[in-house]
Structure 1
Amino acid sequence: MFAGLGQFADSCANCGLDFSSYNVGDGPAALLTMGIGTLIIVLALGVDSVFHPPFWVHVIIWVPFTAALTVISLRMAKAALLAAEHRNRAREAGKSDLL
């Protein structure tokens, strides 16, 4: 399904489904930014209130954790959105869709 870290392949290797006709866009990235950002802030505040580490410890802990969680989650979110578009036969709106 994926050709790179977060990029779709041109088509499915098994069934030949053309992935280029689907428009996943930036929806998953925006949603993950909000969700993961909230989770990281809550966890960082919890760690800070319990252990009181210096700032550099927070950087060493949270920057790689945030990057890894985002990359892993982005693949799943993009795949889920593509599956939803395929299942619901989503398409771009045209003139016939207006009032």
Structure 2
Amino acid sequence: MTQTQSLAQQQALADDRPTKPALWKGWRRRCPKCGEGKLLHSYLKVNDQCASCGEDFSHHRADDGPAYLTILVVGHVMAPLMHYTAFEWRPSPWVMATVFSVGCLTASLYLLPRLKGVVVAYQWARRMHGFDKAS
């Protein structure tokens, strides 16, 4: 019975922090709790706490996850585009290298801070790495 009770408590805890809205707030680089305060200062530095609601972010563990996700997304978008472009239009190698290098760099710089916000927001929503305190 205690195991059933703890499962019910875990479900109640998960329900009070819905994942999808938190991920959307993280994508926008906002606090996953209130959606008002900034999650990041500078390009990739996570604030220690939210300026609006005071949520503590100092214990997040985003580490290399956002970089891996960025590489995964950019690679899966750019590789088919490169293949299609190379066989459909046959541009010179210098044109291909220049265009796709700029495209990969631009996409990576755009996605990296957003995916970092998503990873931190996911940790907050799922109560991982110190976000498990009731708040």
- Mapping of 1:24-35 within 5 angstroms? 24-35=62-73
8 Å CA contact retained: 1:6, 1:71 = no
The residue type paired with residue 98 of structure 2 is I
- Runs of 4+ in structure 1 over 2 Å off: none
Deviates more, 1:10-19 or 1:38-47: 10-19
TM-score, normalising length from structure 1? 0.80
- Supply the distance in 2 between the matched residues of 1:38 and 1:46 (Cα, whole angstroms): 13
Aligned counterpart, 1:2: 40
- Mapping of 1:1-99 within 5 angstroms? 1-91=39-129
TM-score, normalising length from structure 2? 0.61
- Structure number with the higher helix fraction is 1
Gaps of 5+ in 1: 93-99
Percent sequence identity over aligned pairs: 24
Q: Report the number of matched residues.
A: 92
Gaps of 5+ in 2: 1-38, 131-135
Root-mean-square deviation (CA), in Å? 1.6
